[in-house]
Amino acid sequence: MKLITASVLALVLGTGCATTPAPGTRAVDGVLVGPTGMTLYTFARDTAGSGKSACNGQCAANWPPLAAPADASPRDGYSVVTRDDGSKQWAYQGQPLYYWAKDAKPGDRTGDGVAGAWKLARP
């Protein structure tokens, strides 16, 4: 009876929470991938923990940010960055996360080392 009561209480308390869970990222072969399985990257010009992205405009067209919903909240090593245009982006360990537009399919890692500034995101 106590187990059922505790489970019901947890369910009731959890219902109605307005937070969005961390993105559906996961580690594959030591690299973070997004919800669709595409590789994620970090940018050397971003300052970890600053809450900002240094990749905007054409940079963001080539390196699309891992978008976060407006109501996203930090959890499990993930934080939320507010971009110059006001949109939200996920960061891991304070580093904003990006996709590379030239990666064509899950498992591609063609963005690693581009311009000496882009690296695979690692857990």
Nearest to 74 by CA among 50, 57, 91: 91
- End-to-end C-alpha distance for the chain, whole angstroms: 40
Mean pLDDT of 51-66: 98
- Our CA angle for 62, 66, 80, nearest 5°, is 130
| Pairing of β 31-33 and β 88-92 | unpaired
Which residue in the block uniquely carries the two structure tokens 């809450």?
A: 51
DSSP code at position 75: B
* Confidence (pTM): 0.83
Does the structure show a pLDDT above 50 at 97?
yes
Model confidence pLDDT, tens digit, residues 19-49 = 455 679 999 999 999 999 999 999 999 999 9
pLDDT of residue 9: 33
Model confidence pLDDT, tens digit, residues 98-123 = 999 999 999 999 999 999 999 999 99
